[in-house]
Chains A and B, each alone.
Chain A
Amino acid sequence: MDTRINNLLEIIRPRIKEIRFSFYLLKKNKLTLAAFYIIVTLIVLAVLAPYVIPYPSHISDEANVANKLLPPSREFLFGTDELGRDIFSRVIYGIRISLTTAILAVGLAIIIGVPLGAIAGTIGGWADEVIMRITDIFLSFPPLLLAIAIVSIVGSSLNNAIMAIALSWWPWYTRLVRGQAVSLKERKFIQAAEAIGTSKWKIIFSHVVPNTISPVIVQASMDMGGVILTIASLSFLGLGAQAPTPEWGLMINTSRNYFLNAWWYSIFPGLAIFITVLVFNLLGDGFREIMDPKTRKR
């Protein structure tokens, strides 16, 4: 038992070194560092949301129509919406929704796209042809339109929106990983594994995929921003989250009816989208910088 724990530590230790090194590089770029801190804040807020927001009941439990459409005040930092609910609480809670849906959508896209790309790149031949043609078909649709089409068929809900986005996003990962896999094929360790007798599947998933992680991480962090925007767009169009979910896009949609009277209703959710998408893009850029010299180093 003792040795098992020891072994575990041994596995983790070199990884920690990697992470420390990444932080060092991260610190070098001020903008990326700022983005990183903001994202950490967002994650903390998302996790603690129900406990930190001033009016947790305003998410879905309560409505006080008498207070409707009040401008920002000390009581209601971002004002209230058409049902008297505190917009500040709902915007903060919305972080939770945006982040979880984005992580799920991107995660799903990766789960679908990465193995397909690895298979296509490593096996080649007809598998490559078939997979890449399918990828091409999906890629020829603009992602938002494809997501809209899918949601229109299966119905509007946040879960369906996540699925639809994953289905329109996975091809990018397949392409990315396939390119990596093809160049990795030339590396001797793949040949070595073949010579050892390792099965093709094991080669793909144990050898190829771990070596394609770096660009996938970069892509994923940049995609977070894009996915959050897409979800907001879908909800804005009425195809994603449904009332009373405090999803930013849905809030902006609802605010359209009142924007002449209640400017705060559309500005704050809009600002939330803007900041979140921006910091993820910056982080993605930062990751790209970190990953590159590293691969060179290896």
Chain B
Amino acid sequence: MSAYFEIRNLKIDYKTYEKQQRVLDIERIAIEKGKTYGIVGESGSGKTVLALAIMGLLPCPPGIIKSGEIIFDGQDLLKKKNKEMGEKYRGNRIAMIFQDPMSTLNPVFTVGYQMIQIIKQHQKLNKKEAYKKAIEMIEVVKLPDVDDIMKKYPHQLSGGQRQRIIIAMALACGAEFLIADEPTRNLDVTIQASILKLMKELQKKFGVTVLFIANNLSLVSTFCDEIGILHNGKIVEQGRVEEVIKSSKNTYTKILIDSVTKGESVTKKKQEKDEVLLEVKSLKKYFPVKKRKSSKLFVKAVDDVDLKIYKGEVVGIVGESGCGKSTLVNTILNLHEPTSGQVLFDGKNIFELDKNQLRKTRKDIQIVFQDPYWSLNPRWLVKDIISEPIKVHEKLNSISILKRVEDLLELVGLPKSSAFKYPHEFSGGQRQRIAIARALAVNPKLVVLDEPTSSIDVISQAQILELLKELRGRLRLTNILISHDLSVVNYLADKVVIMYLGKIVEYGEAIEVFNNPLHPYTKALFNSIPSLESSGIESLVTLEGNVPSAINPPSGCRFHTRCSMANERCSKEMPAMKVYNDNHSAACFLYEQ
């Protein structure tokens, strides 16, 4: 007697030019009906292979299913012919939700059209009935203005809305088994929380069994009943969430848990001289909206921001997508021209420098980008990548350059032989190290880290953070750290800045802000992030509504439309940054003295 969904002895190989590798070797996974099972694995662990294999979508070749069974409701899916899978199972009983809803939805058809098509195909209803069903499901996923939504195209919806549509599609066809492969990876934290809550509700309501795949341990453990840890194609540990987390037996699991919790340890505060390195004054950056030739509309990406960064500090900038943190940083780096305002670096306004002086300033401000894959030129050797800034700003001969490169590699913990390799020969984490080495190549005064860990694996993340901490101690750099991951900011930053819709809403020392958030947005933000300690999805705070448009931001306090504590004044007046105590300030009327 097998469980509702069971995988037995599944062995899958992948054949590449060089060799044939075993990518999946699962002894047993069993899921009861109506339960949620989470699979946690890093990239390359085989989770996508698993998902595709279940759906019968694994490309063979290069995949080779050597042995095993996937039992679903008594039937072995691996033995089914493709036709049968397509007619009876795929889309019907088993539905899959992918990571990127934009690529799942066809951009040239309206959302309504696509929903109706799918319903018609799987449920054999006529157009009218299908339309009704579609509306029903969209309401189920809690999207308002259903008729309006049906007429919209995917690109006109936000990421969260799109993902809800995908869920609606999955449920509309009566799926009883849902495979969710990183469904919230591309979404903001607050949106993520609401999607997860929705999924949990629907699961209970429709009795759907969920297989949830992600690389975020906190996320999976918050959402699921049982989890399995996937490492190098094998399930190294599985069981109920509490058991696995609290009393894990496997080494890898332990490392994983450590990496996650590490980020929440207390950071040291640095005593520094009060010398200002970078000062931002009333900075505004508006992008013209190119809808029509004469547009007076602007995207107010950064709207009147003041900021002071002292030497030796690490300042974290936190905010969700669209808050303006990337634009702020790009403007500081002079990759954008500001609409108004000043940026003073070492006392000089960088926008008033001539070409030569600007070049010298560039030497002092370096950046590590978010994406370790494309921030390095794939056709350059590592040594050329790292030495590029050296060649631009200094005049060294090639032997000295090579020496410097080797020193830098050592500094970031990579072997010297890396210098003559190509980026694609390294993992994500290692590439990020290369990027860091490059940033440090010319001894800059300020290093900006733009989401340095978001695109890499949990374990590598932890290592990178360790490295950054170490470097900071050794080199006494000043850093600006942008992240949406609070644990990262918590780990490294001295001060933290919270941004919302182009404005700074809260500012202060990291420990202070984290322990005692003032601004309602900050509170909501902190509480919507799942952690290993959170007791289930229900405990997450969700923010209603979407982030308002930056072209036409709300009047008065930007956040008042979504704030549970807003009053009339909030919609009329803009609150200024008021110091609460010491270095902690917030822009909210609640804290007016």
Contacts and interface: CB of A to CB of B under 8 A. Distances in A.
Do A and B touch each other in the complex, judged by CB within 8 A? yes
Interface of A: 3, 7, 10-11, 13-14, 21, 24-25, 187-189, 191-199, 202, 206-207, 210-211, 213, 297-298
Interface stretch (B237-245, B277-285, B370-378, B512-520): B370-378
B11 interface: no
A196 B371 contact: no
| A-side interface mostly | helix
In the complex, the 10 A-B pairs of residues with the closest C-beta atoms, listed nearest first: A10-B420, A197-B362, A188-B375, A210-B379, A196-B389, A187-B374, A189-B377, A188-B374, A188-B369, A195-B367
A162 B359 CA distance: 43
B424 interface: yes
29 contacts: A7-B420, A10-B419, A11-B420, A14-B420, A14-B422, A187-B374, A188-B369, A188-B371, A189-B375, A191-B369, A192-B376, A192-B438, A193-B377, A194-B335, A195-B362, A195-B366, A195-B367, A196-B362, A196-B366, A196-B388, A196-B392, A197-B363, A197-B389, A197-B392, A197-B393, A198-B392, A202-B392, A210-B379, A210-B380
B381 interface: yes
A298 B424 contact: yes
A186 B369 CA distance: 13
Interface in B540-562: none
Contacts of A211: 377-379
Nearest to B370: A188
Given A197-B363, A202-B392, 12 more contacts: A187-B374, A188-B369, A191-B335, A191-B375, A192-B367, A192-B369, A192-B376, A192-B435, A192-B438, A194-B335, A195-B362, A210-B379
Nearest to A9: B420
Nearest to B363: A197
B399 to A, nearest CB: 8
A197 B359 CA distance: 6
B17 A193 contact: no
B270 interface: no
B421 interface: yes
Contacts of A11: 381, 420
A298 B379 CA distance: 10
B454 to A, nearest CB: 13
A188 B377 CA distance: 9
A70 to B, nearest CB: 53
Contact of A198 (B366, B378, B388): B388
A189 B376 contact: yes
A192 B375 contact: yes
Contacts of A193: 377, 388
Given A196-B366, A196-B388, A197-B359, A21 B17 contact: yes
A192 B393 CA distance: 15
Contacts of B422: 14
Interface string B421-456: 110110000000001001000000000000000000
B404 to A, nearest CB: 15
Contacts of B17: 21, 24-25
Nearest to A214: B379
Nearest to A13: B420
Best-surrounded residue of A11, A191, A195 (most CB of chain B within 10 A): A195
Given A11-B420, A188-B371, A194-B335, A207 B392 contact: no
Contacts of B424: 297-298
A191 B435 CA distance: 13
B58 interface: no
A211 B399 CA distance: 27
B333 interface: yes
A191 B399 CA distance: 28
Interface string B345-367: 00000000000000100110111
A10 B332 CA distance: 38
Contacts of B420: 7, 10-11, 13-14
A191 B375 CA distance: 8
A195 B381 CA distance: 19
Contacts of B399: 3
A24 to B, nearest CB: 5
A131 B321 CA distance: 37
A201 to B, nearest CB: 12
Contacts of B379: 210-211, 213
Contact of A14 (B363, B393, B421): B421
A213 B422 CA distance: 16
B377 A207 contact: yes
Contacts of A21: 17
Interface string B330-343: 00010100000000
A257 B70 CA distance: 76
Given A11-B381, A14-B421, A211-B379, A195 B335 contact: yes
Nearest to A8: B420
A143 B116 CA distance: 50
A189 B362 CA distance: 16
A295 to B, nearest CB: 9
Nearest to A212: B379
B59 to A, nearest CB: 12
Interface in B242-299: none
Nearest to A20: B17
Contacts of A14: 381, 420-422, 425
Contacts of A298: 378, 424
A13 to B, nearest CB: 8
A195 B359 CA distance: 10
A157 B521 CA distance: 77
A84 to B, nearest CB: 54
A116 B402 CA distance: 33
A88 B584 CA distance: 91
A105 B314 CA distance: 57
A140 to B, nearest CB: 28
A10 B425 CA distance: 14
B376 to A, nearest CB: 6
A148 B376 CA distance: 45
Contacts of A207: 377, 380
Contacts of B365: 195
Interface string B99-133: 00000000000000000000000000000000000
A181 to B, nearest CB: 13
A14 to B, nearest CB: 6
Contacts of A25: 17
Contacts of B377: 189, 193, 207, 210-211
Nearest to A298: B378
B16 to A, nearest CB: 10
Nearest to A209: B379
Contacts of B363: 197
Nearest to B362: A197
B31 to A, nearest CB: 33
A16 to B, nearest CB: 13
Contacts of B378: 211, 298
B447 to A, nearest CB: 11
B395 to A, nearest CB: 14
A298 to B, nearest CB: 5
Interface string B395-414: 00001001000000000000
B351 to A, nearest CB: 16
Contacts of A3: 399
Contacts of B374: 187-189
A193 B375 CA distance: 9
Nearest to A193: B388
A21 to B, nearest CB: 6
A14 B419 CA distance: 12
Contacts of B435: 192
A36 B381 CA distance: 30
